[in-house]
Structure 1
Amino acid sequence: MVFNLGIFISALCTTIGALPALLFSRVSHRLKDNLLAYSAGIMVAASTYALIPSTLKLSNMFVLTIGMLLGTVTLTLLEVSLPHAELDHIVPSSNRASPILLIAAMAIHNIPEGISVGISYASHLDDLGSLVSFSIGLQNIPEGFLICLFLISNEIPKIPALIYTVFTAVIELGSSFIGLQLTDQYLNLIPYGLAFAAGSMLFVVYKELIPESHGDGNERSATFSFIIGLLTMIFIIELFR
């Protein structure tokens, strides 16, 4: 049950990150942008130093290309078809964002993250599951903080805001168990799943996190935060080797 523990801890990190947000009513754009950029750096490293190399180890460039394109197209279709609110700007109370739209937005983010964790454990590659679950859990901490704080800033009471944030973690947890179902009888699908998860995560980074972190004039500090997040994940990967 070690893999289940890793999956639960990864999702739990969203809740851990949300708890400090209960102490705030607002946060500066600079801090928000730096947290988003740091998360982006972690996700890029997890994709390029763990998921993509593992895909190539199990298969070939053709599988990697097909899987990544499928992940990108799927996230594009989800974003177009699901009504959702962006997490880039805190809106004034006179024009509050709907919690349902915010939850839909985070579902778009969390589904590929959960799938990547589950598939990584299903691949049975040495330490891949632990590495990916740790990396996703690490970036879930600032993500949970931002989700909860965004809800509170839109005048959602703090306890319901925490519950909504926990629900986004449940979505990721459910996605993890979907990815985990790719066991031995579906062994040939696992490389596609790893590539799919990488493509999905890179889509989220480039389409959502980087633009959001550069939207309020904090491009330089956000860039450094991105690099620090990237280096943090590379350091963790090297520790596992």
Structure 2
Amino acid sequence: MIKSVITYLESIDPILAALYATLFTWLVTALGASFVFLFKKMNKNVMDGMLGFTGGVMVAASVWSLLIPAIDMSEGTGFAQVIPAVVGFLIGAAFLFSIDKVLPHLHINFKKVEGVKTPWQKTTLMILAITLHNIPEGLAVGVLFGSVAAGIPEATIAGAVILAIGIGLQNFPEGIAVAMPLRRMGMSRRKSFFYGQASAIVEPIAGVLGAMAVVTFTPILPYALAFAAGAMIFVVVEEVIPEAQQNKNSDIATIGFIGGFILMMTLDVALG
């Protein structure tokens, strides 16, 4: 199945392939959000385990799918080879840090509103928080497909597909994590589902923009890959892991993290 998808995506324009791949990650988010039609709330232990899983997938994807390729395709040796990855990683983390401080948002399990003061409702702020998560994820997939279009030897459609699968896997619990709290706040099932899936609509947009940017400015590719990695790691450390630990189910969240990391690492090495 996966090999058939890879073969098909290899036969079309990589930017179009980036669009298809990020549409897939968005659809998985919608699938998670659809659970709101079946349940009004999710068991806290299960939710913490899934959030931990999300963090593990994002960290593994950042290392194997983004940072290592960024270093491999950089020129020079020793410290000179790693400089583009370091610079891109720092810029990506700083970019998300800046948005986190400016954009008003509310974490899933937090009562404190972050960012500038605003009269917006809690539901809007929480949707913005998850949307913030999804920007670097779509960007990461798009940059990998764009590197294929740019003819970078280290980049492959298979690697980009594996990353999209990994992002899709961790988007499933994110869809649940948005829709369920909205439902508990009194929003209807339909509206909860709508806003849950809408939080990931930025992924196709970021994916296509990332692919086009790399194709247009090929020299920035190592920086772009590391940028996406830095942004994703920031999200994991700043939001995903703390949210997974809020209910003091640290063991469950940790096991979920390890499982997500191992799964993404295995997919990338075995199939990529």
Correspondent of 1:87 among 108, 125, 132:
108
Aligned ranges for residues 194-213 of structure 1 at < 5 Å? 194-213=225-244
Q: For the residues of structure 2 that align with 1:169 and 1:130, how far apart are their CA atoms?
A: 18
What SS class does the counterpart of residue 56 from structure 1 fall into? helix
Q: For the residues of structure 2 that align with 1:18 and 1:221, how far apart are their CA atoms?
A: 22
What SS class does the counterpart of residue 36 from structure 1 fall into? helix
Aligned ranges for residues 38-187 of structure 1 at < 5 Å? 38-59=53-74, 60-89=81-110, 98-124=122-148, 125-126=155-156, 127-187=158-218
Q: For the residues of structure 2 that align with 1:192 and 1:99, how far apart are their CA atoms?
A: 35
One-letter amino acid of the counterpart of residue 56, structure 2: G
Q: Is residue 42 of structure 2 the alignment partner of residue 11 of structure 1?
A: no
Q: Is the 8 A contact 2:130 2:174 kept in 1?
A: no
Task: Spell out, residue by residue over 1:99-137, the C-alpha distance to the aligned partner (whole angstroms, 9 max, x if none).
Answer: 211121112111111111110110111122112111111
Q: Look up the match of 1:35.
A: 50
Q: For the residues of structure 1 that align with 2:173 and 2:63, how far apart are their CA atoms?
A: 21
What SS class does the counterpart of residue 35 from structure 1 fall into? helix
Q: Look up the match of 2:38.
A: 23
Q: For the residues of structure 1 that align with 2:144 and 2:37, how far apart are their CA atoms?
A: 33
Q: Look up the match of 1:225.
A: 256
Task: Spell out, residue by residue over 1:130-175, the C-alpha distance to the aligned partner (whole angstroms, 9 max, x if none).
Answer: 1211111111011111111111111111101111122112112211
Q: Look up the match of 2:8.
A: none
Q: For the residues of structure 2 that align with 1:173 and 1:90, how far apart are their CA atoms?
A: 30
Per mean C-alpha deviation after superposition, the further-off stretch among 1-10 and 204-213 is: 1-10
Q: Is the 8 A contact 1:22 1:149 kept in 2?
A: no
Deviation at 1:182, TM superposition (A): 2.2
One-letter amino acid of the counterpart of residue 82, structure 1: L
What SS class does the counterpart of residue 42 from structure 2 fall into? coil
One-letter amino acid of the counterpart of residue 7, structure 1: T
Task: Spell out, residue by residue over 1:77-96, the C-alpha distance to the aligned partner (whole angstroms, 9 max, x if none).
Answer: 101001101112589xxxxx
Name the TM-score, length of structure 2 as normaliser. 0.83
Deviation at 1:48, TM superposition (A): 0.9
Instruction: Say which one has the larger Rg.
Output: 2
One-letter amino acid of the counterpart of residue 174, structure 1: I
Deviation at 1:183, TM superposition (A): 4.1
Q: Is the 8 A contact 1:90 1:153 kept in 2?
A: no
Q: Structure 1 pair 183/202, CA: closer, same or farther in 2 (3 Å)?
A: closer
